[in-house]
Structure 1
């Protein structure tokens, strides 16, 4: 079994692959206050709950946008399994993809992994959206190179900020999509604004990417909230909740040994 970890600002997703088949996935909080010893204890319990035999783990790979957790979790997983875990960097074998940014090393590991995964599944040019703490857009040109993108405040972050700064606006649950477009009460109005504006933004950003490239693009999307947002989009979107895990497995095979 190969264990892959995607460490985000809010949550960490862990997946286990046997061959190319995802056998399990789980989600935990990305807690910067835990020590490596605490993570060993915590992860052992989570993996045992999924009936993972740690003695059968052959190796793994970690992608992290949280620098202080990158090596803590690597250390914890190596102690648990006795196997070497790779850490995603822009210097890895990316399967032929070049990063054509002003400062390539600044590109987040999660965006690298998303791009590698999408290129393994779809024909470029591509636009990739990832809805996490931030909403990111990555653009892959027709030659399969990462040429840039955009970073937008995430949906949950935006709505939390709105509730915190507007005294009469409540916290709303984004796991439940709006039932109507024109809201008749405060909560429905906030939900409509959150979901429909995000969907319209994704449609519009993809269209502007096509205008800039001068050719049609395939749109791929992932991230915690994308599953409830993409049905409100008007253009076809390939939604894959496990896109990052797929990319991590590909990078492991490209760089292992």
Structure 2
């Protein structure tokens, strides 16, 4: 099986993917570039065993990262404990199989390119992928599969952290779906939730409307990332929610790289 590793700014996701592309298990850990290969190995060994797998079940490793400092220890993890030379998304035999039709293609984050690969494989036509992570990103993929650019906005948790840090009397609150559609809060906490949650809904709907108008053709909107389902109840702009899009992109990139070898 393939061990696909998605190293994001906030979390690393490790997933076991079988030959048919099905995700058999997944685990998440906070991103810390100082974490060593040995630490990863101890943690993963226990989780593999809990799911009925072992290190011997891993026949390939692919890494996608937007945290350059985390890459070395993940490569050592693959080499030392899985006895595999890992592929790195966007490099060497795992170079991007889609055009990055932007002014600075070398600066496109691996997660965004991987989302574009997976989205185009699963959906036809022009696409917009909205990824709710540390940043909230909008990525435009045209009907040919080319990545055309997008939008980067602060993530919802990042915005909340900044608000709480800058205002001494505001409490830390949990991000959750509001119980009602009212946007007039009656307490400090409900007013904060209204501002963060409904502010993000308005941002999503407003930016997406502008993107669609600029594309000028029918567009399929795909949501991904840990907080994607949080907004599903109160907006109708998502045509599909694909929570594992980045991992699926890694698996597709691996399959194409192996087939081309």
Deviation per CA, 1:114-134: give whole Å up to 9, x if none. Answer: 000000001121111111111
Q: Does 1:139 align with 2:140?
A: yes
Gaps of 5+ in 1: none
Look up the SS of the partner of 2:254 in the other structure.
helix
Q: Does 1:217 align with 2:216?
A: no
Cα deviation, residue 144, structure 1: 2.0
Cα deviation, residue 190, structure 1: 1.4
Q: Distance in 2 between matches of 1:159 and 1:170?
A: 10
Q: Distance in 2 between matches of 1:90 and 1:105?
A: 11
Cα deviation, residue 139, structure 1: 0.7
Q: Distance in 2 between matches of 1:200 and 1:104?
A: 30
Q: Does 1:184 align with 2:206?
A: no
| More displaced stretch, 186-195 vs 124-133 | 186-195
Deviation per CA, 1:90-136: give whole Å up to 9, x if none. Answer: 664544x2101111110000001000000000112111111111111
Q: Is the 8 A contact 2:90 2:96 kept in 1?
A: no
Q: Distance in 2 between matches of 1:206 and 1:127?
A: 8
Q: What is aligned with 1:26?
A: 27
Aligned residue pair count: 255
Q: TM-score, normalised by structure 1?
A: 0.93
Deviation per CA, 1:213-246: give whole Å up to 9, x if none. Answer: 1112110111111121232223233111111111
Q: Distance in 2 between matches of 1:129 and 1:83?
A: 33
Q: Distance in 2 between matches of 1:93 and 1:163?
A: 41
Q: Distance in 2 between matches of 1:18 and 1:236?
A: 28
| More displaced stretch, 179-188 vs 165-174 | 179-188
C-alpha RMSD of matched pairs (Å): 1.6
Q: Of 188, 200, 203, which residue of structure 1 is paired with 2:202?
A: 200
Gaps of 5+ in 2: none
Q: Does 1:239 align with 2:238?
A: no
Q: What is aligned with 2:125?
A: 124
Deviation per CA, 1:126-182: give whole Å up to 9, x if none. Answer: 1111111111111112332111111101100000110111112111111x3211233
Q: TM-score, normalised by structure 2?
A: 0.92
What aligned pairs does 1:63-78 form with structure 2 within 5 A after superposition? 63-78=64-79
Q: Does 1:158 align with 2:159?
A: yes
